[in-house]
Structure 1
Amino acid sequence: MATRTPGSVLFRSLKALQVYGANTDVGKTVVSTILCKALARATPEQQAWYLKPVSTGPLEDADDYSVSRFSPETRTKCLFQYDLPVSPHIAARGSKLPAFNDNSILSQVYSHITECHKAGPGTLLLETAGGIHSPTPASNSQADLYRPLRLPVLLVADARLGGISSSISAFESLHIRGYDIDSILVWENRQYQNHAYLHDYFKPRNIPVLALPPPPPRDNDRARDHEQMSLYYEKVSTLEKIDAFVENLSKNHEARIEKLTSLSTRAESHIWYPFTQHKDLSAKDIMTIDSAYGDFFQAVGQSNAEVPNSEAPNLLEPTVDGSASWWTQGLGHGDPQLSLAAAYAAGRYGHVMFAGAIHEPAMSLSELMLQNMHNPRLQRVFFSDNGSTGMEVATKMGLTAASQRYQHAKHDIGVIGLKGSYHGDTIGAMDCSEPSTFNGKVHWYEGRGYWFDFPQVKLKAGNWIVEPPSGMENGFGPATEFASLNDIFDMGTRDQSLAASNYRSYITEVLGRLQNEGKRFGALIMEPILLGAGGMLFVDPLFQRCLVQVVRQNPQLFTDSSSPSTETASPPSSQDLGWSGLPVIFDEVFTGLYRLGRFNSASFLGVDPDISVHAKLLTGGLLPLCVTLASDSVYEAFLGTEKSDALLHGHSYTAHAVGCEVARTSVQKMMEMEKTQEWSVFQNDWSSSQSNTIDQESSQVWSMWSQGFLHQASLSPSVESVVALGSVLAINLQDDISGYNSTAARGLQGRLRADFKDFSIHSRVLGNVFYLMMSQTTKMEAVRRIEQMVLASLTGSS
């Protein structure tokens, strides 16, 4: 069996469970020994294994030594034994053993469980150290160390005074991290009756509580103590309720597998998927995800779902979340800080209505966003639930402000944007994009606006270029080669170039022609730098900068000269924070909040929008939430004497406290990552190509994807061009058919979804464009391994 990246463990013929204790000295090892002896007796044809990953103290007192003494049929193993009888993080400091990080421990645990499976059917108990949050040798919580395995948990509760509280707290700590609690075991205690209380507490949660006779008091005489414990284990391990418990472990294991392997078939019958043509969709095309952690889904392997024999590999395959779960993942799946933030806000508020009210999470998030946008124009925050509705709100804001100033007719107004734009599927946001696959057959769609074609940034055959739209070389000039990507983003130099002059002249000419044709506009709407759904189109940042400049400096292009009552605004001064020409709206739903390596993508252009929309990475990938930030000059357009003058838009869950608290936590965590230079290992790879004439701290562009990899990929015969920025990678494959009608990227997608040695990659494609994006917490080693896989798969491309 190939070596796999550590992830969830689920074998048909091996039941693997994790034994946690609500506290130290609650009897985890005694429970493990009882169960191992019962398993050996109840299923003699199967093997019982006991694993203690980390142990501290003298060898003769070690838990695995105790289990092997009283249950000699059990195969025991300890991976890391430290001599000092203290917490693992302290024992590791004073040990002569090599320093082991959590990943190395997890890898060895995964490998050992896999070896046990290969040895034949049976049951493995993995016993943790101390309580739920006892530190690992690397000083992290062991609840987080073992979370990627997501083994069902046997929780040994505390029967002592105060044990009810510690046991329930232990359950909640595990539950909030996504563990499944199979059962709770506790000693009977007539004085405190903890077992009775816990039975009633967990019964509504369908978690059984097994009360066991307590072991005899420890005897100072080792020989007598050993004899007493031997008699105790023989007696308790043969109790009928222990036999029933062991049998129930098997039933739960089989039920879990049955539920997982049937999900895709059930989904095929009842689920209507987004952005999916169902005509040819079958159950085998539907990925069943059991859990997710970090960068990985733990998904049921397509080839494993129907394999019944004991030689079947792990049913759950680690699969890289290559689309960042539709671009939302920023801090990896299952981040405990976000889970705790959500639980805190849910416990403190639940959901409270927002109209005319305020709560701390909404206020803190609003101030955090406004302060760190470093855009003096933005002073107001409007909450909604997702990027599409956030853009719907932004469109209402912009069009209302412009219509009020220019007195446009109610329906005679459109937007200015870029070809290939996509701003969402609500009706107003949909009308802000040109006709496309997304809206072409929508009956009420009515594209309202003009969309500029634009020069694109590409890495072609090893060279960074800015390429004009096909057939428009006369207006923009030929493709221009640049020494580095950073030179393309050098707005200080390029603003004075011939290209900038050409761009401004072209834009002014087009807008003048549209005005003469009677077209009226209410906003300039753009996705800065990268047009996501349009095919990861990398816009020349200079073109977007010039478009904003022309719009703001030429308000006369948007007046209606036939209307004597139309107000004509003067071009703005550098200190003017009011909107001019048209309100400028930046759709940063996808590109904002460090997706491209910076807090906001407007900073690449050196211009400040009047309205800015942020979602996706806002909550680190945990909850839906969107903020639309606006200037006071836009906000004031809605101040009036009648309610109908206000911005009448809202949702029942507007600014829900749980989402706001998670977003605040997520944004602060990413800001801290930037401050502590967590991405420096990636930035260093790009620093050699930065121009010495530029302030590198403020102007450096970088990507998680290495320059060497991008160069190699761009030289592949099957590749037309490559782009990368921040965590985003897009590979444009050669095809006579471009856009969404192309199937060129499916072959590459399929090869990466195949069973590689250690993990596979789940991805989405946009016609002939294959893209990947990582979370902001992805480690360099993982990115480099993915690069190797992509290059290997490109070699097989036609």
Structure 2
Amino acid sequence: MNLAERDQHIIWHPYTQMKTAALPVPIVRGEGALLFSEDGKTYIDAVASWWVNLHGHAHPYIAEKVAEQLRTLEHVIFAGFTHEPAVTFAERLLQILPAGQSRIFYSDNGSTAVEVAIKMAIQYWNNLDTPKKKIIAFRDSYHGDTFGAMSVSARSAFTAPFWPFLFEVEFIDVPTAGKEEESIKQLEKLAAQGDIAAFIYEPLVLGTGGMIMYKPEVLDKLMAICQQHGILNIADEVMTGFGRTGRTFATDYLQQKPDMVCLSKGLTGGTMALGATSCNEKIYEAFLHDDRSKTLFHGHSYTANPVACAAGLASLDLLLQPETQESINHIAQRHAAFAASIKDLPQVLEVRQQGTILAIEFYDGATSYFSDLRDTLYSFGLDNGVILRPLGNIIYVIPPYCITDAQLDQVYQTLKGMQEIVAGKRQHPRPDSIMLHD
């Protein structure tokens, strides 16, 4: 049996209906933006392996730093102990994080980074003996798959079996074009109630919601309203962090600054799992008390794993190099040019682009994760040597920063081919408007 057949007998894959799914593609090696399969095929990783890979696969510099750390210290309990990689990484993260962040709490992944922020926010008010327990989030948001993260995410088919167990959240509209004022009014009304603990948001780009994008100016207004009413702001930068939006963090486009920031995905350059939640000193000081019950009782076995921190430090070295920053700008410019070239095609409902993130929403009757178009586009991408994982009828590109012009050309050519597939499916003209994200 080959690797895929062996896999089918024992593995349960994420986000996969195992009864109907095709055999997984067995990958045996990676280099740069490329992945190589067991049967000798080559694929461009145009989604950075679920948005985590910044600098390319099997990067020699990161590998070297990880190997050095493995020969020194692989892990140590982080309660009552510390180590150089965790301290140095926290110091360096705080140098580049939005102004005001002063503490780093390590965890394991994006969902746990969000869980930590939620618990910090709720316990912050509890420690201050102030009855604030509600959280505000965007209606189409996604913050992870653990229960707290699910609670502050959109109610969808993904979470339907668990709805009775999720805590109540106040949802407001995403402030996309034409909805800015309504979103602001919704937040103002909720903020006036006086019982809101925090507002959690994906800054500028809602990833799993369909790469929905909105302007920094309106987020500044929403955050300012929260600050005026004593509501904590939580920036979920798990996907948008480390250059994805064109700047180091999406928050760097804003005047207002958050109280907490959630990080993962690009945190280690895609090398291994690590999460981090930063907070300002105000949050931290609310947990300093002679009463031990006011402690933040949260932790993970692999909290601040030294090897993961070493990978994060190496990735940060690479991210801050001028060549990487030039690559980020170059990818953004190429995305913008390609978006302009296809935006008026009748098969294209909308093109969205922010930094290195490009999303094309094809007209398919209605936007849905379960669109039949999804499997067709996914298979077409693989047939053309490009890994693209559609969100229903929305196709997106978030490549590693090392991707070459030739590889980007191949990705864009594949996207043009997808447009032709959609064109073949429909004969009627592009509508003037359509209900998005049903």
Note whether the superposition's TM-score is higher than 0.5: yes
1:388 to partner: Cα distance? 0.5
* Structure 1 residue 455: Cα displacement: 3.1
Question: 2: CA distance between counterparts of 1:442 and 1:673?
Answer: 46
Structure 2 residue 34 is matched with structure 1 residue 296: yes
Q: Distance in 2 between matches of 1:417 and 1:540?
A: 17
Evaluate the alpha carbon distance shift between residue 735 and residue 326 of structure 1 in structure 2; reply closer, same or farther with a 3 A threshold: same
Residues 271-329 of structure 1: CA deviation (Å, up to 9, x unaligned): 111111122124xx3111111111111014xxxxxxxxxxxxxx311111122111101
CA contact (8 A) 2:124 2:286 kept: yes
For 1:435, give the aligned amino acid.
R
Asked if 1:770 is matched to 2:395, the reply is yes
Give the corresponding residue for 2:378. 749
Q: In structure 2, what residue type is equivalent to 1:550?
A: I
Amino acid at match of 1:525: I
The one-letter amino acid paired with 1:778 is: I
Cα deviation for residue 505 of structure 1 reads 4.8
Q: Cα offset for 1:675?
A: 7.7
Q: 1:649 aligns with which of 276, 292, 298?
A: 298
2:188 equivalent in structure 1: 508
Superposed CA RMSD in Å reads: 2.1
Q: Does 1:262 align with 2:39?
A: no
In structure 2, relative to structure 1, the CA distance for the partners of 1:360 and 1:711 (3 Å cut) is: same
Q: Secondary structure at the match of 2:41?
A: strand
| Pair 1:510–1:385, CA change in 2 (3 A) | closer
State the partner residue of 1:143.
none
Paired residue for 1:632, among 281, 295, 309?
281
Query: 2:414 aligned with 1:786, yes or no?
Result: no
- Is the 1:454–1:543 Cα contact (8 Å) retained in structure 2? no
Q: 2:179 aligns with which of 452, 457, 468?
A: 468
**Which residue matches 2:199?**
524
Measure, in 1, the Cα distance between the counterparts of 2:160 and 2:249: 31
Give structure 1 regions of 4+ aligned residues with deviation exceeding 6 angstroms.
Answer: none
8 Å Cα contact 1:433-1:447 kept in structure 2: no
The structural deviation recorded for 1:774 is 0.4
Hey, what's the Cα distance between the residues in 1 that align with 2:353 and 2:16? 27
Given the superposition, is the C-alpha separation of residues 651 and 506 from structure 1 closer, same or farther in structure 2, using an over 3 Å criterion? Answer: closer
Task: Report the Cα offset of residue 406 of structure 1.
Answer: 5.9
Q: In 2, distance between residues paired with 1:383 and 1:428? A: 17
Paired amino acid for 2:179: P
Counterpart of 2:110 (choices 362, 368, 387) is 387
User: Partners of 1:416 and 1:406 in 2: how far apart?
Assistant: 20
Task: State the shift of 1:536 in Å.
Answer: 1.0
8 A contact 1:741–1:767 mirrored in 2: yes
Post-superposition CA distance 1:760-791 (Å, at most 9, x none): 11221212211121012222332133212211
Structure with the bigger RCO (C-alpha within 8 Å, sep 6+) is 2
Contact 2:319 2:325 in 1 (8 A): no
Given the alignment of the two structures, is residue 666 of structure 1 paired with residue 390 of structure 2, yes or no?
A: no
Q: Secondary structure at the match of 2:131?
A: coil
Q: Count how many residue pairs are aligned between Structure 1 and Structure 2.
A: 423
- 2:18 corresponds in structure 1 to 278
Note if contact 1:338-1:666 (Cα within 8 Å) is conserved in structure 2.
yes
Distance 1:328 1:444 in 2: 32
Q: Tell me which of 338, 346, 355 is aligned to 2:70.
A: 346
In the alignment, is the contact (CA less than 8 A) between 1:595 and 1:617 conserved in 2?
Answer: no
Partner secondary structure for residue 341 of structure 1: helix
Where structure 2 has 5 or more consecutive residues not aligned to the other structure, the ranges are 426-438
State which of 235, 239, 242 in structure 2 corresponds to 1:593: 242
C-alpha displacement of 1:506: 5.2
Contact 1:351–1:658 (8 Å) recurs in 2? yes
Deviations 1:569-623 (A, max 9, x none): xxxxxxxxxxxx1111100011001111211110122221110011111111101
Q: Deviations over 1:8-62 (max 9, x none)?
A: xxxxxxxxxxxxxxxxxxxxxxxxxxxxxxxxxxxxxxxxxxxxxxxxxxxxxxx
Partner residue, 1:142: none
Q: What's the CA shift for 1:648?
A: 0.9
Asked if 2 retains the 8 angstrom alpha-carbon contact of 1:402 and 1:583, the reply is no
Tell whether the 8 Å contact from 1:400 to 1:522 is kept in structure 2 after alignment: no
Q: Distance in 2 between matches of 1:339 and 1:346?
A: 10
Structure 2 CA distance, aligned partners of 1:733 and 1:675?
Answer: 31
Task: Give the letter aligned to residue 353 of structure 2.
Answer: A
2:9 is aligned with 1:329: no
* C-alpha displacement of 1:704: 5.0
Q: Distance in 2 between matches of 1:467 and 1:718?
A: 23
Q: Which amino acid aligns with 1:408?
A: P
Displacement of 1:679 in angstroms is 4.2
Secondary structure at the residue paired with 2:402? coil
TM normalised by structure 2 equals 0.91
SS at match of 2:379: helix
State the distance in 2 between where 1:674 and 1:294 align. Answer: 15
Q: Is the 8 A contact 2:89 2:312 kept in 1?
A: yes
1:609 alignment partner in structure 2: 258
In structure 2, do the counterparts of structure 1 residues 679 and 651 end up closer, same or farther at CA, with 3 Å as the change threshold?
A: closer
**Cross-structure match for 2:225:** 550
CA contact (8 A) 1:538 1:723 kept: yes
Q: Deviations over 1:50-78 (max 9, x none)?
A: xxxxxxxxxxxxxxxxxxxxxxxxxxxxx
TM-score (norm 1): 0.51
Q: Quick one: distance in 1 between partners of 2:21 and 2:414?
A: 27
Q: Name the CA distance, whole Å, in 2 between partners of 1:401 and 1:378.
A: 16
Distance in 2, Cα, partners of 1:748 & 1:715: 20
Whole-angstrom CA distance in 1 between matches of 2:232 and 2:171? 16
Partner in structure 2 of residue 728 of structure 1: 357
User: Where does 1:37-56 land on structure 2 (aligned, <5 Å)?
Assistant: none
Contact 2:108/2:274, CA 8 A, preserved across alignment = yes
| 3-state SS of paired residue (2:276) | strand
Query: What is the CA–CA distance in structure 2 between the aligned matches of 1:407 and 1:587, rounded to whole Å?
Result: 24
Whole-angstrom distance in 2 between the partners of 1:676 and 1:265: 41
Paired residue secondary structure (1:596): coil
Matches within 5 A, 1:537-576: 537-553=212-228, 555=229
Partner SS state of residue 386, structure 2: strand
